[in-house]
């Protein structure tokens, strides 16, 4: 029997040809992002058929390929969701993660939207603890901005070409050491307004963290790159008027009068854990948080007039990225003047990192110890 507050128990099969400590140290020196994977992975199976029994077989096993049938539903109908988190090493060697209940709750919402089964939060968090315990040597040293990136995901593994929710599903967690996103200091990104392409529409899956949203954002990203931009900013798909977010990050604006504005959650914007944390931190910096619809014209006008003081994007991977120039077909605008500094972006970024790495007191109760 399972009850939702007790996690499933895991079996652990350790890899026999484990990576040497020397090789791990070499990887951790300059990990980049998402390139190298640790020795182990978590897998849990779900069977939703009448006699299937739901979640079972929770295990840590050597990292390696899945055996998956060509007819597996995920390959045809994209029933897939994921999460992105980090494990941070503190100065005393202990390893922590940031607001995992928020990621577990979002994973459950994404699952429901994609007609996938909900993995109970207790098992979600236990799966992170199990993997990080097995691969703790892969968590970079404390003191810098390196971390072990954790990628929980779930996909429809049932071999069946009819269109209905799959009855066999696989949950997994993999981990990958991640370096400082900006080794040379914060560098503002240039953004492209995607008007031909939307990443999500009303009633669609924009609020779910699913692979399909990323697939549909790529055309806009490519268009942006062709115009010399680092990333694309997507607008609401119905009126092409209101700012939504980037392909994988939420957006914030600091106005001259000290308001911290971000687009309100309209159902097509992903509810970032970093976004929600920044809204809570605003008061510490004497900023007034505000969630509302923001016309793209307000960005163009405010950047030109000086009404907008700072712009930044946020997400778990990069924490905070200052935004510089905005370009579109036939124009561009830049809110930065001579001597511009991203004072608030830097302060909020440092505050979040200090909490995550245990250098500041966890006054909001955001940290969970893994090891
Ligand atoms: C994951 C993600 C974010 C950032 O969410 P965090 O929880 O802060 O990492 C923002 N937008 C999209 C589309 C995302 O997938």
The per-residue DSSP string of 114-149 comes to TT-PPPPHHHHHHHHHHHHHHTGGGSPPTTSS-EEE
Instruction: Report the C-alpha gap between 340 and 249 in whole angstroms.
Output: 23
Looking at the fold, whether 168 and 235 belong to one and the same domain comes out as no
Q: Are residues 135 and 199 in the same domain?
A: no
The token pair at 245 is 């977010």
- Compute, in angstroms, the gap from residue 250 CA to the centroid of ligand 1: 7
Cβ of 206 less than 6 Å from ligand 1: no
Q: Measured from the CA of 209, which atom of ligand 1 is nearest?
A: 15
Residue pair 108/187 in contact (Cβ under 8 Å)? The answer is no
Same domain, 232 and 296: yes
Pick the last residue of a domain from 125, 145, 178: 178
Is residue 84 in contact with ligand 1, taking CB distance under 6 Å?
yes
Residue of 114, 6, 111 lying closest to 58 (CA atoms): 6
Query: Are 83 and 107 contacting, i.e. CB atoms less than 8 angstroms apart?
Result: yes
Q: Does residue 209 sit within a domain?
A: yes
The finding on whether 208 has its CB within 6 A of some atom of ligand 1 is: no
Between the CA of 270 and the centroid of ligand 1 the distance, in Å, is 6
One domain, residues 234 and 146? no
State mean pLDDT over 191-211: 94
Per-residue pLDDT at 2 exceeds 70: no
- Distance from the CA of 50 to the center of ligand 1, in angstroms? 35
What is the CB-side half-sphere exposure of residue 347 using CA atoms within 13 A? Answer: 13
Note the pLDDT of residue 144: 87
Pair 199, 171 in one domain: no
Percent of the chain scoring above 90 in pLDDT:
96
Does any domain span residue 365? Answer: no
Name the residue with the closest Cα to ligand 1, atom 5.
Answer: 272
Measured CA to CA in angstroms, residue 98 lies from 42, 85, 183, 369 at distances of: 19, 7, 22, 9
Which CATH number characterizes residue 199's domain? Answer: 3.20.10.10
Mutate to test the pocket of ligand 1, among 274, 278, 315 (most ligand atoms within 8 A of CB): 315
How far is Cα 56 from Cα 342, in angstroms, rounded to an integer?
49
Indicate whether 29 belongs to any domain.
Answer: yes
Same domain, 146 and 202: no
Task: Detail the DSSP E strand segments found in the chain.
Answer: 11-12, 40-47, 54-62, 80-82, 85-89, 95-98, 147-156, 168-178, 189-194, 231-235, 243-246, 250-255, 259-263, 288-292, 308-315, 319-328, 331-333, 367-369
CA distance 82 to 214: 11
Percentage, residues of the chain above pLDDT 70: 99
Q: What is the mean pLDDT of residues 158-162?
A: 96
Cβ atoms of 371 and 135 within 8 Å: the answer is: no
270: Cβ below 6 Å to ligand 1? yes
- Among 122, 147, 178, identify where a domain stops: 178
Taking Cα atoms as reference points, which of 293, 154, 269 lies closest to residue 206? 269
pLDDT in tens, 120-140: 999 999 999 999 999 999 999
Q: Is residue 5 part of a domain?
A: no
Looking at the domain assignment, is residue 364 inside a domain? no
**Which 8-state DSSP code applies to residue 167?**
S
Nearest to 170 by CA among 83, 100, 66: 66
Classify residue 369: in a domain, yes or no.
no
Task: Give the model's confidence band at 4: pLDDT under 50 very low, under 70 low, under 90 confident, else very high.
Answer: confident
Identify whether residues 281 and 133 lie together within a single domain: no
| Averaged pLDDT for residues 362-366 | 98
Mutate to test the pocket of ligand 1, among 84, 100, 213, 313 (most ligand atoms within 8 A of CB): 84
Please indicate whether residue 83, judged by its CB atom, sits closer than 6 Å to ligand 1: no
| 1 band by pLDDT with thresholds 50, 70 and 90 | very low
Token reading at 270: 């992903």
- Hey, which of 86, 100, 249 would you mutate to test ligand 1's pocket, going by the most ligand atoms within 8 Å of its Cβ? 249
CA–centroid distance, 315 to ligand 1, in Å, is 5
Pocket flag, ligand 1, residue 99 (CB < 6 Å):
no
Same domain (yes/no): 146, 289? no
Q: Which residue owns the Cα nearest ligand 1 atom 13? A: 248
| Domain final position from 156, 178, 200 | 178
pLDDT of amino acid 182 = 72
Together in a domain, 118 and 240: no
User: Would you say residue 366 lies in a domain?
Assistant: no
Nearest to 209 by CA among 219, 196, 198, 200: 200
Q: pLDDT of 32-72, one tens digit each?
A: 999 999 999 999 999 999 999 999 999 999 999 999 999 99
Q: Is beta strand 308-315 parallel, antiparallel or unpaired with respect to 319-328?
A: antiparallel
283-302 residue pLDDT tens: 999 999 999 999 999 999 99
Q: What is the rounded CA–CA span in Å between residue 15 and residue 291?
A: 48
Nearest to 128 by CA among 92, 102, 93, 109: 102
At 83, which CATH number?
Answer: 3.30.470.10
Task: State residue 28's pLDDT score.
Answer: 97
> Looking at residues 14-21, what average pLDDT do you find?
97
Same domain, 232 and 327: yes
- Please check whether residues 174 and 198 belong to one and the same domain: no
Q: 324: domain range?
A: 189-355
Mean per-residue pLDDT over the chain, rounded:
96
Whether 4 is in a domain gets the answer no
Residue closest by Cα to atom 15 of ligand 1? 248
Ligand 1 atom with least separation from CA of 106 = 7
* Interatomic CA distance for residues 97 and 95, integer angstroms: 7
Residues 156 and 201 in one domain: no
For the chain, how many structural domains are there in total?
2
């Amino acid at each position: 029997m399972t009850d939702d507050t007790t996690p499933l128990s895991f079996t652990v099969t350790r890899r026999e040809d484990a990576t040497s400590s020397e090789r791990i140290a070499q990887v951790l020196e300059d990990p980049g992002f998402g390139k190298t994977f640790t020795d182990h992975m978590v897998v849990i199976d779900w069977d939703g058929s009448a006699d299937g029994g739901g979640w079972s077989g929770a295990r840590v096993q050597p990292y390696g390929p899945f055996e998956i049938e060509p007819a597996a539903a995920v390959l045809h109908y994209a029933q897939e969701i994921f999460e992105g988190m980090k494990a941070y090493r503190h100065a005393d060697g202990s390893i922590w993660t940031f607001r995992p209940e928020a990621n577990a709750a979002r994973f459950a919402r994404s699952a429901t939207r994609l007609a996938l089964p909900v993995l109970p939060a207790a098992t979600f968090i236990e799966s992170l603890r199990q993997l990080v315990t097995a691969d703790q040597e892969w968590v970079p040293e404390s003191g810098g901005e390196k971390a072990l990136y954790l990628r929980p995901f779930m996909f429809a593994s049932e071999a069946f070409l009819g269109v209905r929710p799959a009855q066999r599903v696989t949950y997994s967690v993999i981990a990958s050491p991640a370096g400082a996103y900006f080794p040379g200091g914060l560098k503002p990104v240039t953004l492209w307004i995607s008007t031909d392409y939307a990443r999500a529409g009303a009633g669609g899956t924009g609020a779910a963290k699913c692979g399909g949203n990323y697939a549909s954002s790529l055309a806009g990203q490519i268009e942006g790159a062709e115009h010399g931009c680092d990333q694309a900013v997507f607008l609401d798909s119905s009126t092409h008027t209101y700012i939504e977010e980037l392909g994988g990050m939420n957006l914030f604006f600091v106005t001259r009068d000290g308001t911290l504005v971000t687009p309100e959650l309209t159902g097509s914007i992903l509810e970032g854990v970093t976004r929600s944390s920044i809204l809570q931190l605003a008061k510490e910096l004497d900023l007034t948080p505000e969630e509302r619809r923001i016309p793209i014209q307000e960005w163009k006008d405010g950047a030109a007039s000086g009404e907008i003081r700072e712009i930044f994007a946020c997400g778990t991977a990069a924490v905070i990225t200052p935004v510089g120039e905005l370009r579109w077909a036939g124009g561009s605008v830049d809110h930065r003047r001579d001597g511009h500094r991203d004072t608030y972006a830097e302060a909020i970024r440092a505050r979040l990192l200090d909490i995550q790495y245990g250098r500041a007191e966890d006054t909001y109760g955001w940290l969970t110890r893994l090891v």
